[in-house]
Structure 1
Amino acid sequence: MTATPTPVERPKHSPWLVLSVLCLGFFMILLDTTIVNIAIPDMSTRLDASLDQILWVVNAYVLVYAVLLITAGRLGDLYGPKRLFLVGLVVFTLASAACGFARNPEQLIIARVIQGAGGALLTPQTLSVITMIFPAEKRGAAFGLWGAVAGVATVAGPTLGGYLVTNWGWEYIFFVNLPIGVLAVVMAAIVMPDIKLNRRHKLDWAGTALATTGLFLITYGLIEGQPHDWGKVWGPVTIVEILVAGALLMAAFLLHQYLTRNGEPLVPFAIFADRNYSLMNVVSAAIAFGMLGLFLPLVIYLQSVLGLTALQAGLTTAPMSLISMFVAPVAGRLADRTGGKWVLFVGLSLWSVGMGLVVWLAQVDSGRWHILPGLIVAGFGLGLTFAPLQTIAMRNVEPRMAGAASGFINTARQLGAVIGSAAVGAVLQVQLADQLRERAEANAGALPPQFRGQFVDGFAHAGSGSLEVGAGQSGVPVPPGLPEQARQALTTVAAKTFHEAFTLAMKHSLVVPLSVLAVAALSCLLVTRRRREPGPDPAAERDPVGAAA
């Protein structure tokens, strides 16, 4: 039986007003991500959390978010995107309050898991509704505004988050979601149309279980690999065995999806008939890999090496986000006119070059604005990326598959974020452990002979999970009970060692996400020409939801 979108209630409001509500909820999700990144050093210090725990604060949210997105897209098809959007908003808002009240890393990680579930319920509904209520010739402009929200959030996140962390503490980066969430719930209840499909869907519970378990094992292995020296972690079970088991489960998941393709799989393979959609899933994952992989080490560098406050670090990266915010709507209109292929290629190329310039300019003795040229170039590239990507991906998707297509492309993006954050975090830990030992040996000559061995040994074992990277930290704690003169000497040399080691480790680690972004840019050349679109439908102007049906 053919499934067609049918409006349960006739839309009472302009699709642009509905878009503003969708963007408000999406803004809250992105704001939370960028705020958390800027607060990492403060959380590390005040919660007494190690680097691997902080990585779990970041990745627990992203992992749950990624795993549930496809299921949430299916639930949107079953119960309607409006209901799922509202439920996601409520869950995310309440979980934000729980995050703010957390008093140890474990409580914060649990609250972040719940946040991830709320965000997953919300996000697929945004692209699904945009695809249904806007005619094809106007989706580029709509996706441009949707992409501009990413620019606003990346500006507001580091800047507002930096202000809150500096003046109030890390807890308020989560409390700020409460008024936004309440406003979004009220507006969504009033203006969003209640769109449903006239076919009931069944959830693929076997596929959900396989994907959830497989992704958890892969991410856990990447995060916990270095602290456990890539050896045993659960009794006789090793990190390598966990990673292999996760990969096998994901292979089984894909096979299961293929075998059930004529039924109700979690991932309907019909959406991959469009080459551009399939390609944009890969590009979306690569972009998220690069973004999360680049900004985690950079935030730590700005605060722990350059000594900036959270607010100063946020203002340092603000020019990139501001430029992106103003460029994104223009990119959306260009994508409507040209198809978006070359806009996306230029955007990814500029972003890769800009962030490569940032990495090259970052030095131990750099000032806060030394990396500005790279951030400006990256800002133009970032602004040219989001709108054409979504336009290319969703242009030929049938409205009846909008929920599944939206869920999967968001899942691909978040899987890229999970793997990028975990992989770069693991590489950073390996590189930092090596660089700390080498720099400690090189700098130990500045200390009295009786302290040199202890100093080198302390840094040599810093990669075993006790590494401290909070603002003002020197990598490892200075032993208690030392004479004041010896303590001052050790503190000075330890700080120098940490700054040099982290800067070198960051440069080496960021080669990975930069390479992924470069490959993503080249893959845009494989995008096919867009199909010839029919002229504007007057019915679409009067009733976008009905026209989509």
Structure 2
Amino acid sequence: MITSAVPEIPKQQAWRALTALCIGLFTTMVDQSLVAVAIPHIREDLGASVNQVVWVSSIYLLMFAAPLLVTGRLGDRFGQRNVYAVGLALFVGSALGCFFAPNVESLIVIRAVQGLGASLMNPQPFSVINQIFPRERRGAPMGVWSAVAGSSGLVGPVLGGLIVGAAGWRWVFLLYVPLGLLALVMTLRWVPKLPTSVARIDLVSVIVSIVSVFAVVFTLQQGPDTGWPGWLWLVLAAGVIAGIVFVWLQRRASRRGADALMPLELFSIRNFALGVVSVTTLGFTVYAIQLPIMLHLQSGAGLSAEVAGLLIMPMAIISITLAPVVGRLADRLRPGVISTIGFSTLISAMALFALLMRPGVPVGWMLIPIVLLGASNALCWSSNSTISMRGLPRELIGAGSGVYNTARQVGAAVGSASLGAVMQIGVQVTDISSAMGNAMLLPIGVLLIGLIAVSQFRSDLSAR
């Protein structure tokens, strides 16, 4: 049954709902950095090969990214709260399964289910926020949401190191259980049931979209490690072809007046289309640069993992503190002002990283770009999300959320693969610190595309 009236949500309940959603988000977004710390211990304890433990992380990211176009639309069809709760239950149950996993093979399978749970959860809060908060007051909640998402990867290495060192790798997964159960209870209690807006979802489009995203992300993940063999290029080609077929299916559905999985009219909304471009460049940069920074600090500058993790903590603190304030400003200032400042600051941080990640440069100087990176995270993510989603009609919010999150994840996969290739080439011709510093130049060119995109944001009245 499709309903159309959005119930009026009291302000206090809206913020409670956001709190519940943020706790769930944190559990899914912190996973990659937490588990990365545990990988060496998993390999030793379970007697796994390098390839097997890589898949412990990779399968989660694949199953997270591949269905995002679909899971966003599922919220429109079955209700965002319902889909979010199912995803959270899957995630928590899988985390408990990971804690008891007897071998690496079963751990990989359970991690795939856990990634699917995260994918079901991830697009729903965007849809909920854009329905329970008035248009003119969405900046602050979007800022909080973005702060949690942006800082989770920065907190992960420190938190993971403490847990693994004190209790072992299995307790990393057990951490998700109380957090997830708390989020589930709060979600069922505080997140309201919202109107549905889609009658049916085309199964063929679902299959084709998952094949396309899975193939592209799989290729980008495995290429650097496998040396880009011929069969992998065939997988990529299959993904591209599936993507073309998917667009054709969506165009045909739109012409028939049917419910498209990814309505192409989304891209006629100027700010949303520009926001998708810019969030792709953010994903390319922010999710990839942690590795070269940590390699420089540990392998180049000789810091311990704990000290290196503490050194980058100001990023998380600044980002969490500034993001809600930035979100409120995004409601008041002309679209694009904050995003332009944010992208310019992020480009400046990359340039400083490239300059300072050199042999003999005192490590204390790294605090300057680290602080800039924290500030730019707050300036870029919250304002970009607010402006991109604000102009969408309610019936397109779920689909738009899926597209937006898919763009971010694909950007992250492309960034990780590209930066990984540059780092591998760099260490063959120079020292580790210089190689990592040179790699930080790559995101600058990509971020310039994002800077151009956000500078073209327009007021809502002229955004189409």
Bigger-Rg structure (1/2): 1
Name 1:521's counterpart in structure 2: 451
With over 3 angstroms needed to count, the CA separation of the structure-2 counterparts of 1:401 and 1:182, relative to structure 1, is same
2:381 to 386, 402, 425: 386
Name 1:146's counterpart in structure 2: 145
The one-letter code matched in structure 1 to 2:448 is: A
Name 1:203's counterpart in structure 2: 201
Alignment map for 1:290-329 (pairs within 5 Å): 290-329=285-324
Name 2:75's counterpart in structure 1: 76
Does residue 330 of structure 2 align to residue 335 of structure 1?
Answer: yes
In 2, distance between residues paired with 1:55 and 1:129?
A: 34
Name 2:189's counterpart in structure 1: 190
* Identity in percent: 35
Q: Which moved more, 1:255-264 or 1:273-282?
A: 255-264
In 1, distance between residues paired with 2:423 and 2:9?
A: 53
With over 3 angstroms needed to count, the CA separation of the structure-2 counterparts of 1:152 and 1:223, relative to structure 1, is closer
Give a deviation string over 1:129-153, Cα, whole Å, max 9, x none: 1111111111112212222223553
Does residue 464 of structure 2 align to residue 531 of structure 1?
Answer: no
Name 2:248's counterpart in structure 1: 255
Unaligned runs of 5+ in 2: none
In 1, distance between residues paired with 2:88 and 2:346?
A: 31
Give a deviation string over 1:315-371, Cα, whole Å, max 9, x none: 121011111111111111110101441101111221222133223322355665442
Secondary structure in 1 matching 2:32: helix
Q: CA RMSD in A?
A: 2.9
Give a deviation string over 1:61-116, Cα, whole Å, max 9, x none: 22221221221122111211111111111111122233344466544443332222
Does residue 408 of structure 2 align to residue 409 of structure 1?
Answer: no
Paired positions, count: 461
8 Å contact from structure 1 (residues 323, 380) kept in 2: yes
With over 3 angstroms needed to count, the CA separation of the structure-2 counterparts of 1:103 and 1:353, relative to structure 1, is farther
Name 2:440's counterpart in structure 1: 510
When normalised by structure 1's length, the TM-score is 0.76
In 1, distance between residues paired with 2:93 and 2:101?
A: 13
Q: Which moved more, 1:364-373 or 1:45-54?
A: 45-54
In 1, distance between residues paired with 2:314 and 2:264?
A: 41
Deviation at 1:267, TM superposition (A): 0.3
The one-letter code matched in structure 1 to 2:69 is: I
In 2, distance between residues paired with 1:103 and 1:515?
A: 45
Deviation at 1:39, TM superposition (A): 4.4
8 Å contact from structure 1 (residues 327, 380) kept in 2: yes
8 Å contact from structure 2 (residues 288, 415) kept in 1: yes
With over 3 angstroms needed to count, the CA separation of the structure-2 counterparts of 1:247 and 1:155, relative to structure 1, is closer
With over 3 angstroms needed to count, the CA separation of the structure-2 counterparts of 1:419 and 1:102, relative to structure 1, is farther
2:239 to 233, 238, 246: 246
Alignment map for 1:434-445 (pairs within 5 Å): 435=428
Unaligned runs of 5+ in 1: 233-237, 440-499, 534-549
In 1, distance between residues paired with 2:46 and 2:341?
A: 42
Secondary structure in 2 matching 1:293: coil
Name 1:33's counterpart in structure 2: 32
The one-letter code matched in structure 2 to 1:4 is: S
Deviation at 1:504, TM superposition (A): 4.1
The one-letter code matched in structure 2 to 1:280 is: G
Name 1:350's counterpart in structure 2: 345
With over 3 angstroms needed to count, the CA separation of the structure-2 counterparts of 1:297 and 1:102, relative to structure 1, is farther
Give a deviation string over 1:367-389, Cα, whole Å, max 9, x none: 65442111011111111112211
The one-letter code matched in structure 1 to 2:249 is: H
When normalised by structure 2's length, the TM-score is 0.89
Q: Which has the higher helix share?
A: 2
Deviation at 1:286, TM superposition (A): 1.3
In 2, distance between residues paired with 1:379 and 1:520?
A: 18
With over 3 angstroms needed to count, the CA separation of the structure-2 counterparts of 1:191 and 1:213, relative to structure 1, is same
With over 3 angstroms needed to count, the CA separation of the structure-2 counterparts of 1:68 and 1:219, relative to structure 1, is closer
